[in-house]
Structure 1
Amino acid sequence: MEHRKRAVIVGCNINNDKGFFNMMEELSGLADACDIEIVGEITQKLERTYSSHYIGKGKVQEVISLVRDKDSEMVIFYDELSPTQIRNLEKDLKCKVIDRTVLILDIFAKRSKTKEAQLQVEIAKLQYMLPRLTDLGEVLGRKIGGAGFINGGPGETKFELDRRKIRARISALNADLETIGVQRQNQRKQRKKSGIPVIVLVGYTNAGKSTIMNTMIDLYSSSIGKYVFEKDMLFATLETYVRSIKLPNNRSFLLSDTVGFISKLPRQLVKAFQSTLEEITEADMLIHVVDRSNPNYKQHIVAVKETLKEIGADNIPTIYAYNKADLVGDEIIKEEKDRIYISTKSKTGINNLVNEICKRALEQHVCCQLLIPYKEGSVLSYLKDNADIKSTEYSINGVLISVECKESDYIRYKQFESLIKK
């Protein structure tokens, strides 16, 4: 069995933040996702952090004692540390010092699968490293390639940690990323031309976005092999997936699954993932997925809203889908009645979510009767594939259908409505 690194976590509760201990618990979860065992925790209440060591001198001594007693190999700090803080802390603690940003970058590095995601993550890592070259040279100088830079990994490339070369590398990666970005833009343009609405799933990491997408695919798609990766873990999805959802009434939309958000998402990742996040900014509607069973769900909603505002997607029409409602019980009846409650486990509430999408995002449909002459078989075939035919009657003059179709299709085929009256 591979050895798990042991670590102590340290955080400053600034101005008695009520959500602080929940965030420290999340920090432990991020460490666990990096296969690090948390063996101790130290916190301090402050009005502001110390510029030299982040925590006070007395707390530094407590950390030194705890590291020694617990045989810890590293200390993980909740906030992003400055180069000076890292240098001073490593000198005093005599072990590796990292921060929350490094944990998140490491998770992204290990889980990125596509070329685009790998480029984005490497850019984010280099941007984090650039101001810390002097202080992190010994820690990060060995390997900074694809498998993460806490534990290292096979197949990584060694770099001479030189500012000029790092900047050149970032420029080269951005050029490669821009090429992929152009391809993504062209794909979005084609989707826009099709007139099919694009619905994007957003939400806090591990809220259940990918599970909702797979449930939709399971209920409304006959495609095999179209499921997306899902797992009960932080940042299970780093790629953007788009799937076509065709409902029984022949209404359809494109459903997109995106990377999950987190409180204080590192600015390097937001910047590096800009081309991927544009998928959100150009959506016709967002489904904000919320893990209603999580006691911190309200803070998660705020964190997602802040990120959406940062990327310019805060004005897009949004449906709130409160997931895992089966774990909450009757308390949801008493509050937030404007939300849609779903359970992907039992597949309850999904129809309500789809109905809300149809009502708010899909083109308005028109109910009408059309008499399609037999020689216009292609029109009938089109409507069978793209409209909801309620009834069909065969007569001498053609096929009489009662149909619910898109307004644009009604205008296109309105001529066949007038044939009924002749």
Structure 2
Amino acid sequence: MSEPNNPYNEALAGTLIDRTIREKIVLVAVALPGDTDEAVDASLDEMALLVDTAGADEVARLIQRRDAPDHTWYLGKGKAEELKELCLAVDADTVVFDNELAPAQQFNLEKLLGRTAIDRTAVILDIFGQNAHTMEGKAQVELALLRYRLPRLRRGAKAKLSQQRGGVGARFGSGETKIETDRRRIMKRINKLERELDSLADTRALQRQGRQRSGLASVAIVGYTNAGKSTLLNRLTDSGVLSEDRLFATLDPTTRRLALPGGEPVLLTDTVGFISRLPHGLVESFKGTLEVAARADYLVHVVDASAPDPEGQIAAVHEVLREIAASDVPELLVINKADLAPGVAKEIVADHPGAVALSAVTGEGIDGFLRVLGDRLRSLATVYELVIPYDRGDVLAAAHREGEVVSVNDGETEWTLRARLSDPSAGRLGEFIVDAEGT
């Protein structure tokens, strides 16, 4: 994907702007029936964090409560005129809706306001565009972006998206005249990206088969964005993964080997952070990456105890897990940043029996977490009884290496073992297995 006409490369080259000059953003939310004032305010606060991560500043916000969105401007006509005056008063560059705009609504708003109007999805795409570094990550982001923009071209809503400058939501707009005017080129590019990602998925499947043959359990770290997943991985494995106090700092999964207190090794994988109302296009484009969670033996669900609404974030993560068919994978709820909010951490643990609290930064609670994780994983394994002749010390060593040996009894000519083994390990030691039992 290094060809000269790569739209992703063209976009990045066209938006290398001075980030010390930050855009002025007006945030807009339309509260619909069922939306409480507290929920709307919390969502706008999160939207402000997203905008800040994208490299811009909130200068004002506007909220309207409606029974249903207006099909022309999403806002009512009078409120849209009020928004126009507000933008003039604060000299705003861009209007960001915390709702999802239809292509025609976006076009009509930009025509009325005389400035760029984008929605929550566009901002998240912009942030993903900034943080995509690997070939696969860039391809996934570009695919999501093109799928997002294609219906806007079909509807004739030619996005302005700051054609002469960069900015929030315009990371892939500046310099992309050919994409905006040539639908066939977009479709060709989408098809090419889908083929490339399918090829990468095949490679990942081969790697996964190799890991399964190793007999090691797989554990995926999931959670809301900026919950501390990468910090936890670094604490456990000294992996040196990028860890920043910003949203969506990690897009590409990283897998490391971890030895649990009992000595048994597992594979631990960091994943992209989730967020409430994660755009479906991103979920679809990142399905190859997100399947790490769906195929894991266990999930470590990291929660930020210092967040404004930890329970809401837990619910949002569970919603995404359902969308990627990972809701049936057993999970261990880990309340992180207990050093910052010890009282809240204790309350969440009390409300969720079996959860553990820790601080990935200070190391507080890490030992207890590892013991619980080891116990949970061992409870999933089948206990096998093996009879191993004394002259097969290599098999005895393999049983210790690949599983957890529960007991060993010496006989006249052989050892009799009870050991917890994964299915691949049991297959390799099958000729010595005489019985199996659940736990």
- Change in Cα spacing, 1:88 to 1:367, as seen in structure 2 (3 Å) is closer
Residue of structure 2 equivalent to 1:420: none
Deviation at 1:402? 13
- Classify the secondary structure of the residue corresponding to 1:195: coil
Deviation at 1:91? 1.3
CA offset digits 1:301-346 (Å, max 9, x no partner): 1111111111111111111111111222345445326121111122
Residue of structure 1 equivalent to 2:11: none
* Distance across 2 between alignment mates of 1:159 and 1:263: 30
Residue of structure 1 equivalent to 2:161: 139
Residue of structure 1 equivalent to 2:257: 244
* Distance across 2 between alignment mates of 1:142 and 1:251: 57
| Residue identity in the other structure for 2:49 | G
Residue of structure 2 equivalent to 1:348: 364
| Structure 1 stretch displaced more, 329-338 or 304-313 | 329-338
- Change in Cα spacing, 1:388 to 1:132, as seen in structure 2 (3 Å) is closer
- Classify the secondary structure of the residue corresponding to 1:228: coil
8 Å Cα contact 2:219/2:300 also seen in 1: yes
Residue of structure 1 equivalent to 2:68: 48
Residue of structure 1 equivalent to 2:8: none
Deviation at 1:19? 1.2
* Distance across 1 between alignment mates of 2:197 and 2:112: 40
8 Å Cα contact 2:219/2:299 also seen in 1: yes
Residue of structure 1 equivalent to 2:26: 8
Deviation at 1:65? 1.5
Q: 2:129 aligns with which of 106, 109, 112?
A: 109
* Distance across 2 between alignment mates of 1:245 and 1:148: 39
- Change in Cα spacing, 1:50 to 1:352, as seen in structure 2 (3 Å) is same
Deviation at 1:136? 3.0
* Distance across 1 between alignment mates of 2:369 and 2:176: 44
CA offset digits 1:265-316 (Å, max 9, x no partner): 1111011111111111111111111112212111111111111111111111
Residue of structure 2 equivalent to 1:129: 149
Residue of structure 2 equivalent to 1:276: 289
* Distance across 1 between alignment mates of 2:101 and 2:384: 62
- Classify the secondary structure of the residue corresponding to 1:135: coil
Unaligned runs of 5+ in 1: 219-225, 391-396, 416-422
Residue 200 (structure 1) aligned with residue 220 (structure 2): yes
Unaligned runs of 5+ in 2: 1-17, 407-411, 435-439
8 Å Cα contact 2:110/2:117 also seen in 1: yes
Deviation at 1:135? 1.4
* Distance across 1 between alignment mates of 2:352 and 2:101: 42
| Residue identity in the other structure for 2:61 | E
Deviation at 1:121? 0.6
CA offset digits 1:151-186 (Å, max 9, x no partner): 569997953522222112101110111111100111
> TM-score, normalised on structure 1?
0.84
Deviation at 1:48? 1.5
* Distance across 2 between alignment mates of 1:341 and 1:37: 34
* Distance across 2 between alignment mates of 1:213 and 1:296: 23
Residue of structure 2 equivalent to 1:175: 195
- Change in Cα spacing, 1:86 to 1:202, as seen in structure 2 (3 Å) is same
- Change in Cα spacing, 1:287 to 1:217, as seen in structure 2 (3 Å) is same
| Residue identity in the other structure for 1:358 | G
- Classify the secondary structure of the residue corresponding to 2:179: coil
8 Å Cα contact 2:335/2:345 also seen in 1: no
| Residue identity in the other structure for 2:316 | A
Residue 361 (structure 1) aligned with residue 377 (structure 2): yes
| Structure 1 stretch displaced more, 39-48 or 334-343 | 334-343
- Classify the secondary structure of the residue corresponding to 1:159: helix
Residue 336 (structure 1) aligned with residue 355 (structure 2): no
Identity %: 35
- Classify the secondary structure of the residue corresponding to 1:249: coil
Deviation at 1:188? 1.1
> TM-score, normalised on structure 2?
0.81
Over the aligned positions, Cα root-mean-square deviation in angstroms equals 3.4
CA offset digits 1:67-103 (Å, max 9, x no partner): 1111111111111111111121111111111111110
- Classify the secondary structure of the residue corresponding to 2:181: coil
CA offset digits 1:34-87 (Å, max 9, x no partner): 111111111111121111111112211221111111111111111111111112
CA offset digits 1:237-289 (Å, max 9, x no partner): 10011111023532111111111111111111011111111111111111111
8 Å Cα contact 1:365/1:406 also seen in 2: yes
* Distance across 1 between alignment mates of 2:429 and 2:261: 19
- Classify the secondary structure of the residue corresponding to 1:345: coil
Q: How many residues align?
A: 401
8 Å Cα contact 2:28/2:63 also seen in 1: yes
Residue of structure 1 equivalent to 2:437: none
